[in-house]
Structure formats: C-alpha cells, structure tokens
Structure 1
Amino acid sequence: MQSCLKNPPDLRPGSMIRSQANCYQLQEYLDSGVYGTVMKCQNLTAQRPSVLKVLRIQNAGDRWQEEVKILQILAQHQGHNKPIVQWFHSFQASGHFIHEFERLDISLKQFVTQSPNKSLGLREIRPIVSQMAHALSFLKALGIMHNDVKLDNIMLVDHLRKPLSVKLIDFGLASTEKCQGREIQSRAFRAPEVFLGAPVDSAADMWALGIVAVSMFLGRFPLPGHSDEDMMRHIVETVGHCPAAVMDSGLYTIMYYSLSSSGKWEYMFTPLKPEQKVLHRLDDMDRNDRSGRAAVYIEPRDRHAFVHLVKEMLDPNPATRITPAAVMSHPFVSMRHLVRGNQC
C-alpha cells in the first residue's frame, strides 16, 4: 500500500493525501474545471467514502474563506439534517484548498437524462421541488444565498435505495450578503434582476429552482438563450418585464432597455422567431397533455397546480416572487388540489 504523503506529487486516482486529522486515497475524477477538481475518495482514517473538492490556491482567492465560512454556518445549524450536502472538513495540502463532503449518487441532470422520456413526471417532480424549497427556506433563515442552484448542483442521495431523495450541493458561490453587479448563477438559471445588475437577494435562488422545475418537466431548458441578450429576450417574451423599480436600480439595464424622453424604459431587442422558443408562455405547459403519467381525473388538476406554482417561482418581480415557505404550502406540493372537489 502507498504511504500517505502530506504533499503528493499529483492528484491522480490512486494517490494518497492527508490533512492533520485524516488520510485519503483518491479514487476517481467526478468533475474538473478552471478552478479545481472534484474527486471520489476513501477516507481511510474515518473509514468512509467521501468526495474531495480540490481548489487550486492561485485560483481560489477569497472565495475559499467565504465558502468555509458558509459551510461552518451550515454545520453549526445542523444543515446535514436538511436536504443539504454534509461537509466534514476543510484543509490545505499540496498547493490546494480542499473540502471533504459526504459522497452522494448522481446529479439531477444525470437522473433526468437517464429517465425513459428524458423528463420527469409530476409525481417525481413534486418531492424534488419540496425538498429544495426546504433547503432554500433553511438557507434564507440563515441569511445565505446559494447563487448557483441548477440541475448539476442537486444530487440524488441514492437513486436506487432512496429514490427521489435529493440534496443541494456546491456552496462555492454562496454569500451571506445581498449583492449587486456580480455575475452569479449559471446563465440558463439566472434571474432577470441579475442580468439587469439590480440588487439581488434570495429570490434569485427561487427563480433558479423554478427553471429546474420546468426543465425536469420538459426535459430541456425552457429559456435556451445563448448569450445574456438572448436570455433576456426569452425571459421577457415568456414571463414579461421586471417592474420599473428593478430596472431603475439596475447597473446593466441600459444594455437591454433605452430610456425614453418620457422617462419610461423601452425594450431594445427584436422579438424571437416562434421556432426559437421552447415555450411562448408558461401556460403552454398546462396544455401539454401528459395524462398518461397518472390517472386521467388527477393529472389535469395536478398539471394546472404545477403551472400555477411555476408562474409564482418565475415571477419577474423579485419582490413578489414566491418564497420557499410558500412553496412548501402550495397546493402542488401539499396536494390539496387532489382532494375531491378542491380546486387550486
């Protein structure tokens, strides 16, 4: 067996690495990017499978300290008892900052892609939305914004033994303060106020969860923009404009709107062609007949409740966008609409 070196020459599978308290054997690459690498490993000291998020010191900057701060807050409030990944430990070794997390199964993106229809039914979507609303409610109570909710950052715990049990991962962009002008969120999941450079709070996470919900239902991104300008065109034509107060406060509003002589914001871009759209409006999903997924007398009401919830999640006004707590009591999640005679 290899010795557990404090400063291994590389991070290849089979290498050993240690912190002051633990020794790890690296097993398999899970993901790799500009800032670092995510690897499966075996914690030989604690005798548990885990995942190491390995960040290059020269690229991590202040984000390392901010992420540790967030993870410590979550641990202090027992975040592992919520639908949030459990953090074990953070340390430095071999020119890297390293976080150790519990090992989960596959991402929600992988799960949807592997599903027979490459999309999910409402009975599958419901518990996932419910758990993520629970996670966002917990974060909101702690004053934490995740800032990167997306299909890749929602993991199934064990899709065979614990079907549809999910956890939110990756707090690399999370913050404890409202921000303005920062490039947060992946473009396909980015809230309109972020594009405009307006002040951003936890409502942006709810927008992203709304995009996740629709993506699960359709099996594709509902707003498939290929640039910031293109994304704003899809947002405006599908759900409408942000209110004037949001535009007035936006650092980048002038990239999408011009101010008329009367002081009103006027949208600058030409409309999308019909073939460029996935949805003309969110109500299109209510007419998408998927009654084969459930009993016919249930599915139309369930679909209607789902669309109603999604419209609340994708409200272009962050001030009136539905909160995580309200999602958990919404008829689609509570299933009140499925009681005979009850209406959404």
Structure 2
Amino acid sequence: MRMGVRSTGGPSFQNGVNGTGGGTMHRNGVIINEIQNGGMVNRRSEVPLKSVGSGVAQRTANLPTLPRSSGSMQSLQSDLYPVPPSPMIHVSFQNSMMIPAYSGGYGQLNANGVRGNCRELNRMGVGGTVTIVQADDGTMRDVDSITPSVSPSNNVQNGCHVNTPSLRRGDEGTGLTPTPPSLRFLTSYEEEEVKDYLPSVYFGGTEQCKKIHGVRGTEKNDGYDDDNFHYRVVVGDHLLYRYEVVRVLGQGTFGIVVRALDHKYHRLVAVKVIKNKPNYTKQAREEINTLELLNRDDPDDEANIVRLLGSHIFRKHYILVFELLPSDLYAIIQRNKFRPMSRDFIYELSEQLLTALVHVREHKIVHCDLKPENIMISYSGCNSKLVGDSADFSLKLIDFGSACEESRPLFTYIQSRYYRAPEIVLGIPYTTAIDMWSFGCVLCELANGYPIFPASCEGELLERIVEYFGTIPLYLVKQGRRADRFFEDGQMKYNLGKKRAPHAPHSRVLGNFLKIGRSHEDQLFEDFVAKCLHLDARQRLTPETALEHPWIDFWRGSGSSMSTASLSDSSCSLSC
C-alpha cells in the first residue's frame, strides 16, 4: 500500500521527450520520479491593472460571466475594469496603488473563515492596507492558504511572501513598468540583454537574489544552464524581465516548474521552464500547440482544461505560463488520510473529468498521463479547516506534456504505471481509450483510498490486472509487439513481479475493492467502473458513452448535495 508515496514510474523518452515523466522529486521526504506542470489564470485575455486612487472597487454591469469551473485569480479593479462576478469584495485602499485580490492566486481574502467579518491585511510589501468591508457569495479564504497547482502540490508550503518593487503607471498598453531603482540589480550581461525586451520590462530581480553572472560565448549557455541543460533558476530573480521566481516547485526530466509573480498583471502564475535540448523543445512546442487548440475551441472555459496563458523563449529555454490552481486530487486524497471518498464526490468529479475527456477526444488527442496529480481541484464555499458546508468544486485537467494526436503517437511507452493501460504494456497501437483506462483506475482509487494496481514493474501490473479481470485474450496478445516479454505460447509467464506471489485469474473481486454494498447505486457504480477497465480497448466506455451510463443518470436524477461529510465515508477535515 502507498502511504503518501507515489512510485508510479515514468514514461521513457523515445523519439522525443515526455513533458511529465522522469526526473526526481520529493514528496514527504520520499524521492519520486514524477513532476507535473501547473495550471494558470482562468482568463480569456490578459488585462492590465490600472492605478486608482482611494475608493471602493465596484461590480460593473453587463459583464461576461466566468464559468463555474473558474478557480482563477480574479483581480479587483476600478470601474474602468470589470470585477469578476463572484466573489464580490468591497475594499478600500490607503495608498495610491491598487492591490489585486485573487481567487485561486494569493488566496481568497478571509475574514477569519466567517462571511462578512472584517479585518485588515498588509500584504505584498507595497505599504498599503486592504480592509475588507463586505464579502458575500462564499466564505473567503486566508491569503496565505493557497497551494499551487503544479504537481505535486503537497510538496509546496502554503503561502509565500512576495517582495514587489514600487510601481508606477506605464505607457498605455505596456502594463505596469518598474521604477528605475528596480533595475539597479542587473548584471553587466543583463544590462545589454534587457535592451532586447524594451519597452516591456517589468522586473529585474530583487536585491537579495543571488544572480547568475552570465558571460557571453562561454559554455553551458553563457553560464545559465547546469550540466543537465536545465535552466539555473534563482529565487527572487526574473524570467523574461517580467516574472519573479517565488519558489521552485519541482524539477523533472523535461525541466523545472516554478511559482512566479507576473509583474505585468500582478498575479501569481505557474511557469514551466523547459530543458535546453532539441527533443525537449520539440515536445514543448507540441504541448503549446495542443493547449492552444484545446483552449481556442473552448472560449468560455467550460471544458475543464487548464489554460495556457502564454509561451515564450528566454535564454534558449521555452517558457510556458499557466494558470495557478489550488490543489491536485492526490493532495486531497492524502489529506483525507487515504480513506474512501463518498460516492457523490466521485460522481461530481467523474462528470467534470469526463467533460474534459470529451473535449480532448473530439480533437482526437490522447492525454497519455491521466492520474490524480494531473487533476486539479478548486473548492468554493470553504474555509481553512473544512471543505465547506457545500463542498462545491470545479476541476481542471492539466499536464499535456505527454499528449499526442491519436493518428500520430509520439511515444510507445507512456502513462504512469499505476494507471497504464494493458495495450501500452503489450505494445498494441493505442487510442484515446487509454485515457478511459486511467480514468477507471482513478475511480477505484477514490472509492478505496489506494490504487487498484500498485505495481512495482510492468510484469506485476499485468498480474494484478489478470487477478481482477481474468486472462488477457489471445487475440490481444498476438497484437502486442512487446507481448513476448510477458507471454510464452499464449500463456502468461507468472512471477513477473518478483516481489510478490501472483494470484490466479479472477481471484480478486472488483466489487470488494470498490467497497460495494447491495444497493442499486452500488451495482451501477461497479458496472460503470468495470466497463471503463475492459481489457479490450474497443469495448471500453468512451467519455461520451460514459456520460450516458445509468450510474451517471442515477446521480443526475437524485441531485448531488455534496455535504462536508460526504467527502469521506467517515468524517474528515481537509484543508483547501
């Protein structure tokens, strides 16, 4: 069993690179080999903040409504710039510079966890005080309670102190530009380099940061890369003279992910800095193209796909900027102490995740790495201790670093091992059906608290699959290019997972793992999961047929109340 440790393996890098796998990271002191990208601000376009005088931020009429899936950082703006519709916060400012409040960024402003209370907050080193005078439509969280969406989010301490320079109004269209003192810490290398970025220069680094002193024409990318071609990220320094590195969230084979402050629009974002090697830059372009396509065809942000805010090249590294989302699903499972989630929670998550998979499948794209760490959850109506009186949440699917077109697969060895479909193990050409297999594995994990196939190697993975679903049909074995590793004369080689004794086919019961009872809903749920985990990919549920399954219809008809107690079959206290 996994006690807070992911050991899911990582995809190999054949004919390119996987944007998520490989690399090492620490989770609760245990080294793992996964790192995911984050998400980013749920906006349709980037809108600069304006400087305003003292006053109260007001809601503007006739504004576009943000979708319910929004976990975005929503800035308070003057009457010249619309305030997002929910939650509404009236604030007063004691300085002349407007300070944004964020939902899903710095955190939702909290009045000690109680709606409508007031308290003063002194944040971000700008010298002004923000006073909440009214808050409605949801409990407001503390500014320091937010957790980034870059997997694994539970590897990151909550909150941060952001040191921002004094700001002044820039020329129209250039956003907020720093005062001259903010550029006094540039190195001689940067004093030349910064000329290429004018007039869009917003931040040059803090006084305390230990800058890399690059030397043009020297090895390792003028000194800015390490021995493995990763960018040498420095906390407090800039990326693109715009993004301030607040914290390094993790490093994987593909590159580094950081939490950063966008000084142009004064919001927190997740930034993925890709390794400076041809295969990795090629895969970064694939990820950018995939997300731009999915985002463009989802203008109202209703498909539950992470928003890519921008992409750049800086010092020969691809830079991908994403919306910053609060927490991944694995962090929630972990905070729930690996206890089963309630069935209505599983339904709510299933419907939203299937919506994302429908959108992906409509574009004939295979995600290739669906797992709890790549499912971001944003709660509304919650305080810092519990998941709310009505644990209403929205979901985003992230990390398309391994994604590919169904007709043009980039890799032959993909998916994290716990969630890897049998056709990948056997080397059978794959389709979007592998994402539905992973989806079924996630449902099992939510229903039980632990993964259904916690295998240490692919041989053990096949053994565990056979124990639940029976012998793999011979016609599938014959299609597999890698089948001879696991089968001989059509018969499976046992003791492949050398660390455990194998069990006979069908020796385990899916319903027992799912903790199925005798109710009609229990039986429908077991059938739903079993059809997601069909050994033959062609007979598996698709996202569209899954949304029409009787189990989904059952919950639609009953209406999901999603109470606090419903998150676990025993009471839990989750920190949002």
Q: What is the 5 A alignment of 1:135-284? A: 135-158=356-379, 161=382, 163-178=392-407, 179=409, 182-259=412-489, 265-270=490-495, 273=501, 280-284=508-512
Does the alignment pair 1:16 with 2:235?
no
Does the alignment pair 1:85 with 2:315?
no
Shift of 1:72: 1.8
Deviations 1:172-196 (A, max 9, x none): 0000134397111001100000000
The farther-off stretch of 65-74 and 97-106 is 65-74
Distance 1:194 1:42 in 2: 39
Shift of 1:217: 1.1
Counterpart for residue 62 of structure 2:
none
Distance 2:502 2:493 in 1: 19
The TM-score with structure 2 as length reference comes to 0.52
Shift of 1:49: 2.2
Counterpart for residue 311 of structure 1:
530
Equivalent AA in structure 2 for residue 283 of structure 1: G
- Alpha carbons of 1:152 and 1:177: their partners in 2 closer, same or farther (altered >3 Å)? same
Deviations 1:191-228 (A, max 9, x none): 00000000100000000010011011111111111011
Shift of 1:129: 1.1
Distance 1:301 1:337 in 2: 15
Structure 2 stretches of 5 or more lacking a match? 1-164, 166-181, 184-202, 206-210, 213-231, 383-390, 559-576
Q: Secondary structure at the match of 2:439?
A: helix
Equivalent AA in structure 2 for residue 26 of structure 1: V
Distance 1:286 1:257 in 2: 29
Counterpart for residue 342 of structure 1:
none
Two-structure CA RMSD over aligned residues (Å): 2.7
Equivalent AA in structure 2 for residue 66 of structure 1: E
- Alpha carbons of 1:143 and 1:331: their partners in 2 closer, same or farther (altered >3 Å)? same
Distance 2:237 2:285 in 1: 26
2:542 paired residue among 313, 318, 323: 323
> Is the Cα–Cα contact under 8 Å of residues 301 and 338 in structure 1 kept in the other structure?
no
Equivalent AA in structure 2 for residue 309 of structure 1: F
- Alpha carbons of 1:255 and 1:165: their partners in 2 closer, same or farther (altered >3 Å)? same
Structure 1 stretches of 5 or more lacking a match? 260-264, 290-298, 340-344
Shift of 1:96: 2.0
More contact order relative to length (CA 8 Å, sep ≥ 6): 2
2:280 paired residue among 54, 57, 60: 60
Equivalent AA in structure 2 for residue 93 of structure 1: F
Counterpart for residue 295 of structure 1:
none
Distance 1:195 1:182 in 2: 9
Does the alignment pair 1:40 with 2:259?
yes
Counterpart for residue 326 of structure 2:
105
Equivalent AA in structure 2 for residue 97 of structure 1: Y
> Is the Cα–Cα contact under 8 Å of residues 454 and 461 in structure 2 kept in the other structure?
yes
Counterpart for residue 152 of structure 2:
none
Shift of 1:83: 0.9
Deviations 1:25-61 (A, max 9, x none): 1212333222212222221212332111111122614
Q: Secondary structure at the match of 1:329?
A: coil
Distance 2:396 2:488 in 1: 42
Does the alignment pair 1:133 with 2:354?
yes
Deviations 1:279-315 (A, max 9, x none): 81212246555xxxxxxxxx83322221111100000
Q: Secondary structure at the match of 2:249?
A: strand
Distance 1:180 1:100 in 2: 23
Shift of 1:73: 1.1
- Alpha carbons of 1:84 and 1:276: their partners in 2 closer, same or farther (altered >3 Å)? farther
Shift of 1:276: 12
Counterpart for residue 118 of structure 1:
339
Distance 2:514 2:450 in 1: 16
Q: Secondary structure at the match of 2:547?
A: helix
Counterpart for residue 293 of structure 1:
none
> Is the Cα–Cα contact under 8 Å of residues 30 and 40 in structure 1 kept in the other structure?
yes
Equivalent AA in structure 2 for residue 228 of structure 1: E
Counterpart for residue 292 of structure 1:
none
> Is the Cα–Cα contact under 8 Å of residues 105 and 156 in structure 1 kept in the other structure?
yes
The TM-score with structure 1 as length reference comes to 0.85
> Is the Cα–Cα contact under 8 Å of residues 256 and 268 in structure 1 kept in the other structure?
yes
Distance 1:166 1:337 in 2: 18
Higher gyration radius (CA): 2
Q: How many residues align?
A: 320
